[in-house]
Chains A and B, each alone.
Chain A
């Protein structure tokens, strides 16, 4: 921990008029916990007594005084998930990670916690790992979730010499797969999403071969039209963090199985795409 880093957070928040909670959120985000030294600096700089700062730091559950694991697994035990047997899911995570709820594995990889209602009861039981939602979880899914977290959030080796290879993608929001095994393109399962342009609203199927531009769609998309992409499951719009460097249209993100993100341009005819297999947060 560096004193300058804490000071930078304090300066930024002071400029924006943010209060103590906002400052602590930034410190928590930077270190994954609230180190005592940092709280001392915050106390001195804000003029709030150490007791005051400590009182706030221990009241809210998103703050932690102890370091958490690299991955935070939150199992919802709110009433709706509870009646759908989420207690069994917690037990299964405890068994597989060999820790009790509230604890962190000795390799600091996983912290397991239970939460009360994440406000997503319709798709419960819910497990959230690093902000990633897994819905309708049962005991049998636990090992798959852990594997996915271990694989998906770590670096993945890609054979660099293969220029064209199949990818399997899913929604960044709800995690449901886009792969349509009943409809093949290039002899492989296609990627099915929902698109909208003008007054049209229908399906679009893309080749799952990275490097192939074959697509089929319910409605003919005019050349150069910018199309809005949606998840066919949760209907969230797929919007990337940046605009296409080639034509300026928004990019469309999809999560790649085994880790990474593929981004494609939303403009018909533009062939910009980018595959980032290194890491995604």
Chain B
């Protein structure tokens, strides 16, 4: 893509500073929103742009905003989810560290649209540099009257708080994030009620991802039609793809939604490392079902990936070459989810431990064919039977690798161990 939108300032010296951001046209969209538009017109523009949430679920952002009740007196909040923790995902980090003002401008415009006067950014505790730059950016923006009691001299005021997380994957789930912000254990809440009506401290709350909010300034500045012209129908706008694993040039690439996986991997990320063959890809983070090399022509957007039985998720593309053992990948991920399970729901808490034991058995040569089927049975006993989507996500690595690479599980069982051990040793 010739024109970069989300990464346009990345690589510019001092891109995280207010003066750099303003010298490159920053905060003009906020000015336009405050001077020329009504809050409802901003929401309409976001609706019309077709922007879908970039955190993983792909829910239409404008629609989410419209769920916040208009007539309830008292405070309402906006939370920016910067708890980027999905394995393989490192796209929000780029924005937080290099262009915090773009995010703040997006937050300010969104709060104006939603009549919110207090916003929270929940940032991963591990992102020390991002948090520092964000805190400095908030201070710079307040000093310049871009945040604070009278934004750009108008009667719209906004206070932005930066909250650092303390290390917990589940706090990226929106209701767990709210619990954590309130100073409690990050245990997901039962939905409904949804946060739009009962959220932070029981108040109506909108929760959006960093990348989602960062799209808002360009939508206001250039118009929703312009945004909708990027990408494919129903999957509009630019997307950050974080490519990692066995590629020559891992990194974050900004491309329109709908770019093919093949183009992303071979034209941008330099192809498979060491000239090896492509085996499998998790196209949207570790919670999205693996797809195989034969599916490399799929378009990287919400609907096309759903059509091949996977998901765009966070846009974290984890690439695995032909020396990768899929049982080992599933084992590693299931262990991770077992560790991160908050423990509230029995299927997730107990089932994942059981699955880990079975996967270890298969990987280390103690498994049987019946264990493969048992894994699928336990998975279906977890999926859809938990409070939050983590239960669904947690079984996907095992479920999807069995679905696509069952022969590999069976050869583990047959040969009594992992056939990749020697090959894997050679890769190093």
Contact = CB atoms under 8 A, between A and B. Distances in A.
A62 B320 CA distance: 31
A254 interface: no
B164 interface: yes
Interface in B281-307: 282, 286
A87 B325 CA distance: 13
A107 to B, nearest CB: 26
Given A116-B339, A119-B93, A79 B286 contact: yes
A62 B85 contact: no
Contacts of B75: none
B428 A119 contact: no
A21 B242 contact: no
Contacts of A235: 11
Interface residues of A, number: 46
A201 B250 CA distance: 26
Contacts of B11: 235
A173 interface: yes
Contacts of A123: 250
B244 interface: yes
A59 B186 contact: yes
Contacts of B416: none
B88 interface: yes
Contacts of B243: 122
Q: Chain B interface secondary structure, helix, strand, loop or mixed?
A: loop
Nearest to B343: A59
A153 interface: no
Interface in B150-178: 164-169
A218 B124 CA distance: 39
B93 A55 contact: no
Nearest to A87: B332
Given A55-B185, A228-B13, A228-B14, A119 B168 contact: no
Contact of A116 (B14, B87, B180, B252): B87
User: Which of A59, A123, A201 gathers most chain B CB within 10 Å?
Assistant: A59
Contacts of A120: 90, 93
B246 interface: yes
B194 interface: no
Contacts of B342: 59
B90 A59 contact: no
A82 B250 contact: no
A39 B22 CA distance: 46
Interface in B324-354: 324, 329, 332-333, 336, 339-340, 342
A82 B13 contact: no
A43 to B, nearest CB: 13
Contacts of A117: 85-89
A61 B170 CA distance: 12
Report, as a range, how many residues of chain B touch the other chain: 35 or more
B420 to A, nearest CB: 11
B329 A79 contact: yes
A83 B339 contact: no
B31 to A, nearest CB: 26
A124 B320 CA distance: 14
B184 interface: yes
A78 interface: yes
Interface in A44-65: 52, 55-56, 59-63
Nearest to A136: B250
Contacts of A59: 168, 185-186, 342
B90 A119 contact: yes
A196 B12 CA distance: 10
A20 B183 contact: yes
A123 B244 CA distance: 8
A138 interface: yes
A56 B179 CA distance: 11
Nearest to A228: B13
B127 interface: yes
A82 B166 CA distance: 23
A231 B87 CA distance: 27
Interface in A117-134: 117-124, 131
B182 A196 contact: no
B113 interface: no
User: Which of B92, B286, B340 gathers most chain A CB within 10 Å?
Assistant: B286
Contacts of B250: 80, 121-124
B244 A119 contact: no
B427 interface: yes
B168 A116 contact: no
Interface string A126-148: 00000100000011000000000
Contacts of A269: none
User: Which of B166, B169, B324 gathers most chain A CB within 10 Å?
Assistant: B166
Closest 3 CB pairs of A and B: A19-B183, A121-B244, A60-B166
22 contacts: A19-B183, A56-B184, A59-B342, A60-B165, A61-B168, A79-B286, A80-B244, A80-B245, A82-B332, A116-B87, A116-B169, A119-B90, A119-B126, A121-B90, A121-B245, A121-B318, A122-B90, A122-B244, A123-B250, A131-B128, A139-B428, A201-B13
Given A83-B324, A115-B126, A119-B92, 12 more contacts: A79-B282, A79-B286, A79-B333, A116-B336, A116-B340, A119-B85, A119-B93, A121-B88, A121-B244, A173-B129, A196-B13, A235-B11
